[in-house]
A and B are shown apart, each in its own frame.
Chain A
Amino acid sequence: MPTWEYAPAPEARETARLRESYGMFIDGEFVDGDGERMKTVNPADEAVLAEVPVAGPSDVDRAVAAARRAYEQVWAPLPGRERAKYLFRIARAIQERGRELAVLESLDNGKPIKESRDVDVPLAAAHFFYYAGWADKLRHAGLGPDPRPIGVAGQVIPWNFPLLMAAWKLAPALATGNTCVLKPAETTPLTALVLAEICQQAELPPGVVNVLPGAGETGAALVAHPGVDKVAFTGSTEVGKQIQRNLAGTGRRLSLELGGKAANIIFDDAALDQAVEGIVNGIFFNQGHVCCAGSRLLVQESIADTVLDLLRDRLGTLRLGDPLDKNTDIGAINSAAQLARIRELTAAGEAEGAHRWSPPCQLPDRGFWFPPTVFTGVSQAHRIAREEIFGPVLSVLTFRTPAEAVEKANNTPYGLSAGVWTEKGSRILWMAQRLRAGVVWANTFNRFDPASPFGGYKESGFGREGGRHGLAPYLADEAEEAGA
C-alpha cells in the first residue's frame, strides 16, 4: 500500500457541454437527416454519451454538392488573405473552447484528460494557426509560381486523435482553397461536430466544411463519390489499400496515412533515463493507439537487462483509470472491437513463446481496459513483432550492431516512424539516413508539430501532413493532369 495516495482529481464532466444528440453538418447547418441514428459510447464505462445521425448516400450527395458549390462560387475565388482570416478565427476559437473540447474528447475516445488537454487540443489549434498563415503565401512554398487548389476533398479520419486528425485534414485543405467533406470515425464523432459548430461561429461560408458521421459505409460512399476530387484517408493499411484499388484509373488524387510497427532503437551509450521515458511515451502514450507508436523496442543486447529493469520500474508509476482524472496516465481502449484485437494478438504472443509481463494494475469493472504489457524474448518472426496491435503492448527484441538494428528496423512492410537513442551525433545521423521511415525521432519520441511534415514510407502510406510539404497533397498538379 502506498504511503501517499493521490486523491481523485476529476475534471468536471459538465465542461464538455455534452448534448443528448448531435446533428450532422451539411452546407452550414446542423441537420438530422432521415436515415438511421447511432449511439456513441464512453469506452471508460460503456455508457451512452449521445446520439448522432448516420449519413446515408443521399446525405453524402448533398454534402458533396454543397462543397462543390461552395468551392466554385465562394472559396476558391476568395483571396488567400481572406481564407487565412477564417482559419485564424477557427484556431483562436479552438484555444478559447479548449477545455470543453478536451473533456469531450476524453469522454468520447477514452484517452486521459491530461493528453487531450495538453496534446490533442493545443496541436489542433496550432495546425489551424500554422496553415492559416500559408493561405496567402502559396507562391512562396516552393510548389510552383501559382499553386491552385484541387476542388472538393473527401476526408476520412480515425478514432485515435479525433479532433487532431480533423485539424490535420481540414487546415491544409482549406488553406490551399479546397472545400471539405469530413467523415469522423464511427466511435468518435463528437469533437468533429463541435469543430463544425466552431466553423459556424467563425462564419465560415456554408458548404466549405461538411461533417458526416457514420461508419464504414459512409466512408466508402464518400471516397467513391464521383464529385470528390481528392481523397485523404488515415486509418488501417487494409482499408487504405482498398481505397487505393478503388480509385485506380479515376484520376482522383489520393493521400494515405496508414499503420506502422515502429522500431524504437536504444544503443548502449544512450541517455538511459530519457531513453526509458522515450520507450514509455512511444508505446503507452494514448494507450498505444498511435500509428507511429514505438511498438518494437530494439535494444542493444549489451544493455538490454539494464534497460528492462529501468523500464519495469518506471511502468510501476503508470496510473490506469478514469480518463477524466487528471492523474491518469493510461485511459480506456476505444472500443470492444479494438480490445478484442489486442487480446487476440497478445494471446498469440504468448502462444508463440514470448514472455509477457505487466505491472500490477487494477482494471475497472466496466469499460474497455488493457494493462500496459511488455513482451520480451520476441523475434522478428513473431506475430507481435510484425502486426500492428494498436494497443499498450511493447515487443522487445535485441540487436548487436548498428547495421543489425537498421536491418531489423527496416524489415517490415511498414515505414512510418522510428526512434534512435544514442549520445553519438554521427550515429544518429547515420541511422537516420538508413532508416526507411517517414519520421525519425532521435533522442525523443512522439513529437508532433504543424511545421514538421509527418507521413510514411511503404505500406504506411504516402503524402505528408504538416509543414510546407503538407500543402502539396491539396494543390493541383497541372503537369500531372496534362500528362507531362
Chain B
Amino acid sequence: MTLTAEVPETYADVVRDAQTLRRFLHGLPGVDQVGAQARAAALATRSIKKGAKQWALELAIRCVDLTTLEGADTTGKVRALCAKARHPDPDDPATPAVAAVCVYPDLVAPAVEALAGSPVVVASVATAFPSGRASLATKLADVAEAVQAGASEVDMVIDRGAFLSGRYGQVYDEIVAVKRACGPAHLKVILETGELSTLDNVRRASWLALLAGGDFIKTSTGKVSPAATPPVALVMLQAVRDFALSTGERRGVKLAGGIRAAKEAVRYLVMVKETAGEEWLDPALFRLGASSLLNDLLLQRQKERTGAYSGPDYVTLD
C-alpha cells in the first residue's frame, strides 16, 4: 500500500500495510447468515402506525437520494427529476424536499443549475460506475469531472474483482485516492453487496471502506440484483455502530437498489434506530437511493393525511 489516509488513531497500525489490513479484516467476527436474517425479520414485525408512521414517512422522504442512472438520461430528464426533488408533491407544498439527486457525472451541471437555491444537493456516481472496471487514472478523472461540475457528493464503486481476489490493500488505496480527489465533496463507497455475496464479505468490505475514509458506506449500484436487503443493511449498520463505538466517529449508511415500497423504507428506519441508534435517523447519516420509492412514500403520506387510499394519478411521473 502506498498511500496514507486520515485513519482514526485507534486503527492507524491496522492499515500500515496490506498484510496487516488483511489480518484485521479476516479477524472480524463472522456473521451467521440465518441469525442475521432472523434478526432482520424480527425487526420487520415492528408495527409503526399513526404519528410514528407519519414521522417515519417524512424522514424517509428527507433521506431519499432521488436517482436516475440510465443510458438514456438527458438534460430534460434530469431537470424533471430535480423539480420533483425540490417539490415532491405538487398538491402539498409542506412535503419536505429529498436529500439529494443522484446522476452520472456528465449530467451534474444541469442538475446543479436546476437545484440552485434549494436544499437538495447533487450527488454523482463516479469511478467507472457501475462496474468499476477501468484504470485508476480513468476512475480519478471521472471523480474530478463530477466535482468540478459541482457535485457535493460522490458515490464511488469499489473494485469487486480486487476484493474477491483478496487484494484488500489495492481496494483500500483506491478509496483513499478517490477520497482525496473528492476534495470537499463527501464520499459514499458502494460495496455492491450483491456481488460480494456473503455477509462476512459485507462486514469486511464495510470496515475496509470506513478505515479508508468513506463518509458513507452504500449497498449497491442498483444495477445488480440482489441489491439492498435487510440482512445486508443490518450488517452495515452494525459496522458503523461498532466503528463509532471504537473511534467516536459516526459514518453513514446508504441503502440503494430494490427498495420500492414505503413499508420497506419504514422497516429500514426501524432497523437503523434499533441497530445503530437514533443519531443515525438523519439524512446526514442515512440515505435511501431510489427512484420509484419516492412516489410510494408520497402515496402513503397522502393516505395518512386524508385517511383514504390514494392512487397513481395523484403522484407525478417524471
Instruction: Give the Cβ gap from B176 to chain A, nearest Cβ, in Å.
Output: 28
- CB distance A277 to B45 under 8 Å? no
Q: How far is the CA of A9 from the CA of B48 in the complex (A)?
A: 7
Q: Give 16 CB contacts A-B under 8 Å.
A: A2-B273, A4-B55, A5-B52, A9-B48, A118-B45, A269-B30, A271-B30, A271-B32, A273-B29, A274-B36, A274-B39, A277-B39, A278-B35, A326-B47, A443-B32, A444-B34
Interface string of A443-455 (1 = CB under 8 A from B): 1100000000000
- CB distance B45 to A326 under 8 Å? yes
Q: Is B69 an interface residue (CB 8 A)?
A: no
**Contact of A273 with B238 at beta-carbon distance under 8 Å, contacts A6-B46, A326-B45 already known:** yes
Contacts of B30 in A (CB 8 A): 269-271, 423
Q: Is A317 an interface residue (CB 8 A)?
A: yes
- CB distance A7 to B49 under 8 Å? yes
Question: Contact check: which of A3, A273, A423 meets B36 at CB < 8 Å?
Answer: A273
- CB distance A7 to B35 under 8 Å? no
Chain A: interface residue total (CB-CB under 8 A) = 24
Q: Is A188 an interface residue (CB 8 A)?
A: no
Contacts of A2 in B (CB 8 A): 273, 278
Q: Is B56 an interface residue (CB 8 A)?
A: yes
- CB distance B52 to A6 under 8 Å? yes
Q: Is A68 an interface residue (CB 8 A)?
A: no
Q: Which residues in B have some Cβ–Cβ distance to A below 8 Å?
A: 29-32, 34-36, 38-39, 45-53, 55-56, 59, 238, 269, 273-274, 278, 281
Question: Contact check: which of A8, A274, A327 meets B35 at CB < 8 Å?
Answer: A274
Q: Is A272 an interface residue (CB 8 A)?
A: yes
The 3 closest A-B pairs by CB, nearest first: A274-B35, A9-B47, A326-B47
- CB distance B49 to A271 under 8 Å? no
Please report whether the interface of chain B is mostly helix, strand, loop or mixed according to DSSP. helix
- CB distance A9 to B238 under 8 Å? no
Contacts of B269 in A (CB 8 A): 4
- CB distance B32 to A7 under 8 Å? no
Instruction: Give the Cβ gap from B246 to chain A, nearest Cβ, in Å.
Output: 11
- CB distance B281 to A3 under 8 Å? yes
Contacts of B51 in A (CB 8 A): 5, 7
Closest to B282 in A: A3
Those of A236-258 within 8 Å (CB) of chain B:
none
Contacts of A271 in B (CB 8 A): 29-32, 35
Contacts of A423 in B (CB 8 A): 30, 32
Contacts of A270 in B (CB 8 A): 29-30
- CB distance A4 to B47 under 8 Å? no
Question: Contact check: which of A3, A327, A443 meets B278 at CB < 8 Å?
Answer: A3
Q: How far is the CA of A8 from the CA of B34 in the complex (A)?
A: 30
Question: Contact check: which of A7, A114, A273, A274 meets B52 at CB < 8 Å?
Answer: A7
Contacts of B48 in A (CB 8 A): 6-7, 9
Contacts of A272 in B (CB 8 A): 29
Those of A262-303 within 8 Å (CB) of chain B:
269-274, 277-278
Closest to B275 in A: A317
Closest to B52 in A: A7
Those of A1-51 within 8 Å (CB) of chain B:
2-9
Contacts of B274 in A (CB 8 A): 317
Closest to B37 in A: A274
Instruction: Give the Cβ gap from B93 to chain A, nearest Cβ, in Å.
Output: 24
Question: Contact check: which of B35, B49, B55, B59 meets A277 at CB < 8 Å?
Answer: B35
